[in-house]
Amino acid sequence: MVRLLATMVHEEPSIRQAIRFVQDHCVSGGLHLLFGDQRVPPTPLFARHVMHYYTTFCREAIEAFLTVGFAAYRVRTLENGSRVPEVLPLGTYGWLVARGGARSVPTSQLWSFGPPAKTEEEKEDDGGEPLLRYQVSTMYCKEPVYVYEFTRPSPLYPCTSSLACLVPQYMRLRHKRECTVRADLFNSQPSVVFEQQNRTHVNDIVKSDSMFISGGGGTTTGATSSEARDQLSGDRKALGGRQDLYYRVLDDFRMQSHLPEESVTVIAPTNHVVHGLDRVMTPQEMIREELLFIRSIATATGVPPTLLLQGSGAVGTHATSSSAGGGGWADSAESNNRQMLDLCRHINSHLELLMAQAYMAIYGVKEDPRFRLVSLPTFNLEQLSTAFHLRLVDDAVFSSMLEAVWGAPLSEDAPKAREEQRRAEFVLPFRDTPKKK
């Protein structure tokens, strides 16, 4: 199941697009770090360090949340001595659902690492061990592996993530895609069958000397078997010479034409009928199956289906027409904004706790860090243009919003163009006013 889940997450373009939507809207709004109750900001150098490494850490954690339901991470030491958190890639670790308080039992061919055991006083302060927990095992790193739970583990299923429920549907869709590819490959190849049919006209039999004469005493023929064999041999020689002439004519025509070199011309022999093989039927309604899978991705991840349809290229040109008449597909911009904001706020609350846990694992618990992630709302192009011209937000924030929604940041010439447009709108009403004498 882990291999199918990794294949689906890494190779399906609609899932990659949904994860990118969530990452951009959760992280692109900015990351703020304050210390203590008095909200003391960090130094500029440490703020840049946190912005660079912890933003990447959050993007990787979002993908892990949606894929497996938890984030397994380690603390990596850089060349300059700094320690940063790093999420383990999917496929480099295994896990199982263990009972809380039980000892870690290494699985076959895996080394189990985890945070140091807590004392009884620390367990009482934390409220005790949970009933179920994820036990992560890996053989790719020797550092302690920390686990942050995004969804609660289940004793019935090893993976209870948002995307794990799509694996059965993805297997059916993948099987239909393979059938479609095989059918298209078979239908694209030339396939003909020659059927021999000896057709003789009645008039030719009447005019020939080998006519059958039937009577009461029996049947006699006017030609011997040796004469028939000689005639058949002559017909074969004449047919062979005729076919050689055909092929020579076709070769001359091929040299003067622009046919590809791999093209083949076949001439059916005399008394043969050419039949084409039947075409293989492909799975029906593949476009509908793709659209249903995209809708399932949107439902599982919480991304509005309209945004996912507009940004996905898995269904071709049929996505626009299907979304226009799909009833529940075309939602309003305000509904999409509320749905995306609720999803981002829920994920950001977990990310803030995850970054605080990682910070304490690196620097200890002497300081009280407070991380803050700003959720980025969704806007259409008209709303973004209005916010840009009215200067409702700063240009840097607007560039982050534009990059998250449309995939391109604000250009350097945009502020200058805005000032020129404002100056023109202010001067033009007074330029054509007639002067009073």
pLDDT digits (tens, 9 = 90+) for 10-60: 989 899 989 998 998 888 777 888 887 666 778 888 888 888 899 999 999
Q: Are residues 360 and 392 in the same domain?
A: no
Radius of gyration in angstroms for the set of CA atoms belonging to the chain, rounded to a whole number: 37
- pLDDT, position 135: 87
Both tokens of 271, joined, read 């008394």
Inside any domain, residue 190: no
> Which residue type is seen at 15?
I
Q: Are 166 and 381 in contact (CB under 8 A)?
A: no
Cα–Cα separations (whole angstroms), residue 252 to 188, 256, 262, 419: 27, 7, 16, 71
Q: Are residues 113 and 127 in the same domain?
A: yes
Q: What is the number of structural domains in the chain? A: 3
How does DSSP assign 283-322, residue by residue? PS-HHHHHHHHHHHHHHHH---HHHHHHH--SSTTHHHHH
Inside any domain, residue 263: yes
Q: Are residues 140 and 21 in the same domain?
A: yes
CB atoms within 10 A of CB 343: 19
User: Could you give the CA distance from residue 404 to residue 311 in angstroms, rounded to a whole number?
Assistant: 12
Inside any domain, residue 44: yes
Q: Are residues 263 and 291 in the same domain?
A: no
CB atoms within 10 A of CB 346: 14
Cα–Cα separations (whole angstroms), residue 257 to 95, 181, 190, 251, 252: 65, 32, 21, 10, 9
Q: By three-state DSSP, how is residue 129 classified? A: coil
pTM of the model: 0.64
Inside any domain, residue 182: no
Q: Are residues 371 and 385 in the same domain?
A: no
Inside any domain, residue 370: yes
- pLDDT, position 377: 67
Instruction: Single out the residue in 337, 358, 375 at which a domain terminates.
Output: 375
Q: Are residues 171 and 242 in the same domain?
A: no
Q: Distance between terminal CA atoms of the chain?
A: 88
Instruction: Single out the residue in 359, 375, 391 at which a domain terminates.
Output: 375
Q: Are residues 118 and 225 in the same domain?
A: no
Inside any domain, residue 355: yes
Q: Are residues 258 and 335 in the same domain?
A: no
Q: By three-state DSSP, how is residue 218 classified? A: strand
Q: Are residues 245 and 203 in the same domain?
A: yes
Q: Are residues 9 and 144 in the same domain?
A: yes
Q: Are residues 101 and 238 in the same domain?
A: no
Q: By three-state DSSP, how is residue 47 classified? A: helix
Inside any domain, residue 371: yes
- pLDDT, position 66: 93
Residues of the chain where predicted confidence (pLDDT) is lower than 50: 102-120, 122-124, 211-223, 313-331
- pLDDT, position 67: 92
Q: Which residue has the tokens 């597909």?
A: 329
Both tokens of 266, joined, read 């076949």
- pLDDT, position 323: 42
User: Could you give the CA distance from residue 400 to residue 30 in angstroms, rounded to a whole number?
Assistant: 9
- pLDDT, position 117: 44
Inside any domain, residue 215: no
Q: Give tens-digit pLDDT for 341-374.
A: 888 899 999 999 999 999 988 888 666 788 888 7
Both tokens of 341, joined, read 């904001």
CB atoms within 10 A of CB 151: 16
- pLDDT, position 101: 57
Instruction: Single out the residue in 354, 375, 396 at which a domain terminates.
Output: 375
Q: Are residues 50 and 162 in the same domain?
A: yes
Q: Which domain holds residue 75?
A: 2-176+285-375
